[in-house]
Chain A
């Protein structure tokens, strides 16, 4: 099983600031990595797939980068609606999710 480790567990930032969330895989996943956003009481929402492609309707302030074992989700300038939990997910070998990073208001 490929284990995905996200860091930090919690990120405390203010609106307008830049958010950077990391995801490290226990073995290479190529570019087969996605990012999801989940708000309390809601289902996850696909943001990024194949490491850097934005899903339909996702604002340009969300971007993804990386390959192999190290990946990054960047939110260039946090909007109030961006405070949520973010998960990475790999599809190179079956399907696993990271443990999540909570982006909270500072």
Chain B
């Protein structure tokens, strides 16, 4: 089955760190650019980051401001995002998503999401 499964969400204090993982299966992970998109409770979608298929190119939304790092392990078919200096406003469901082949800026396969809650 073609799927993405996120893990690593949870409650963290402001200023803390968290790493999300996304396990890919059912497709050739190494052939696709990948990304993260988040959704605050009751709000719309917000692009977080994208990484190229080779892992050599990374892109971030303006709000990240050097706090998050996207990476991938091509041997484990897994995508990561390391989130540091977390703020209350980072509270959201974080979706892992596969980019459309040939276009890293549209997403055609999504995970179910991981909830990150930043609160004291």
Q: Interface residues, chain A, CB within 8 Å of chain B?
A: 1, 32, 34, 36, 38, 42-46, 49, 55-56, 87, 89, 91, 94-100
Cβ contact of B106, chosen from A1, A89, A94, A96, cutoff 8 A: A89
In the complex, whether B103 has a CB less than 8 A from a CB of chain A is yes
Number of interface residues of B (CB under 8 A): 20
Query: Chain B residues with Cβ under 8 A from A99's Cβ?
Result: 44
Q: Which chain B residue lies CB-closest to A85?
A: B44
Q: Which chain A residue lies CB-closest to B60?
A: A94
The 8 A CB mask of B53-74 against A (1 = contact, 0 = none) is 0000001011000000000000
CB pair A55–B47 under 8 Å, yes or no, is no
Q: Dominant SS at the A interface?
A: loop
Query: Chain B residues with Cβ under 8 A from A46's Cβ?
Result: 100, 106-108
Distance of A36 Cα from B103 Cα, bound (Å)? 16
Known: A38-B45, A49-B100. 18 other contacts (CB 8 A): A32-B105, A43-B112, A44-B37, A44-B107, A44-B110, A45-B110, A46-B100, A49-B106, A55-B100, A55-B108, A89-B106, A91-B103, A95-B105, A97-B45, A97-B46, A97-B47, A98-B44, A100-B44
Q: Interface residues, chain B, CB within 8 Å of chain A?
A: 37, 44-47, 50, 59, 61-62, 95, 100, 103, 105-108, 110-113
Query: Chain A residues with Cβ under 8 A from B44's Cβ?
Result: 87, 97-100
Distance of A1 Cα from B113 Cα, bound (Å)? 26
CB pair A44–B106 under 8 Å, yes or no, is no
The smallest beta-carbon distance between B12 and chain A, in angstroms, is 22
Distance of A100 Cα from B43 Cα, bound (Å)? 9
Could you list 28 A-B pairs, sorted by A, with CB under 8 Å?
A1-B62, A34-B106, A36-B45, A38-B45, A42-B112, A43-B111, A43-B113, A44-B37, A44-B95, A44-B107, A44-B110, A45-B110, A46-B100, A46-B106, A46-B107, A46-B108, A49-B100, A49-B106, A55-B100, A56-B108, A87-B44, A94-B47, A94-B61, A95-B47, A95-B50, A97-B44, A97-B46, A99-B44
